[in-house]
């Protein structure tokens, strides 16, 4: 079990990274890995952080790693594992491929969740809701497990079923890196802004 508290933070580190051709979570970034950088922001926002993924792959990063309970089903499996590993009322979920995510914005998601009756509060970009940068109430575990068992694995569909509340996010905060070109562009922009 993870620490008790109002919010538990998690970074989704699993995934095949097919378009990247290598594990996005382990990309070298600012003297650490990309997943460690995202984890630092989640920790600042939620007061706790664990990785969701394979302990054999990520166990040497100095962070607690929670494996999937029902493996092989993508991000839905990770969310399910997070919800099952904590007694916290809320789970903050962030994907490992969000290099610009900031604790201040994650805190806004948490604050919105704790003052509403929403089951899910997610970042909202021009593309719509971003369910991999979101806060989920612990009561959603039943719906997540049912979705897994029925093969309904699209996270945006889950957010819609939960009638998620959106919080507008600057595009850069939720811009993910899926390909080598995305990664090079991000590093170029970061260098230019430094």
In a domain, 29, yes or no: yes
* Confidence bin at 30 (pLDDT 50/70/90): confident
In a domain, 187, yes or no: yes
- What confidence score (pLDDT) does residue 182 get? 82
Per the domain annotation, does 101 fall within a domain? yes
Average pLDDT over residues 68-86: 95
Contacts of 158-162 with CB under 8 Å at 24 or more apart are 158/76, 158/79, 158/120, 158/131, 159/120, 159/122, 159/129, 159/131, 159/134, 160/129, 162/118, 162/119, 162/120, 162/136
Q: Does residue 2 fall inside a structural domain? A: no
Q: Would you state the pLDDT for residue 2?
A: 37
| CATH number of the domain that residue 174 is part of | 3.90.550.10
Q: Which domain holds residue 146?
A: 7-193
Residue 21 lies in a domain: yes
pTM listed for this prediction: 0.94
Number of domains present in the structure of the chain: 1
pLDDT of residue 113: 94
> Quick one: average pLDDT of 52-75?
94
The pLDDT, as a whole number, for residue 98 is: 95
Answer yes or no: is pLDDT of 190 > 90: no
Per-residue model confidence as pLDDT tens digits over 118-163: 999 999 999 999 999 999 999 999 999 999 999 999 999 999 999 9
Report if residue 90 sits inside a domain. Answer: yes
Average pLDDT over residues 55-78: 94
Residue 1 lies in a domain: no
């Amino acid at each position: 079990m993870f620490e008790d508290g109002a919010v538990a933070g998690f970074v989704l580190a699993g995934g095949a990274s097919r378009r990247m051709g290598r594990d996005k979570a382990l990309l070298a970034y600012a003297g650490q890995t990309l997943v460690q950088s995202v984890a630092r922001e989640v920790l600042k926002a939620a007061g706790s952080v664990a990785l969701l993924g394979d302990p054999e792959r990520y166990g040497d990063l100095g962070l607690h790693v929670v494996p999937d309970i029902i493996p092989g089903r993508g991000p839905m499996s990770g969310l399910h594992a997070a919800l099952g590993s904590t007694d916290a009322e809320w789970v903050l979920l962030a994907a490992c491929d969000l290099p610009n995510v900031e604790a201040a914005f994650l805190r806004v998601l948490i604050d919105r969740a704790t003052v509403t009756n929403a089951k899910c509060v997610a970042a909202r970009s021009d593309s719509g809701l971003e369910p991999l940068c979101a806060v989920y109430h612990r009561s959603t575990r039943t719906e997540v497990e049912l979705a897994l068992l029925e093969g309904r694995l699209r996270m945006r569909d889950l957010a819609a079923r939960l009638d998620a509340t959106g919080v507008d996010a600057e595009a850069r905060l939720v811009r993910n890196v899926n390909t080598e070109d995305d990664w090079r562009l991000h590093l170029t922009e970061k260098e230019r802004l430094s």
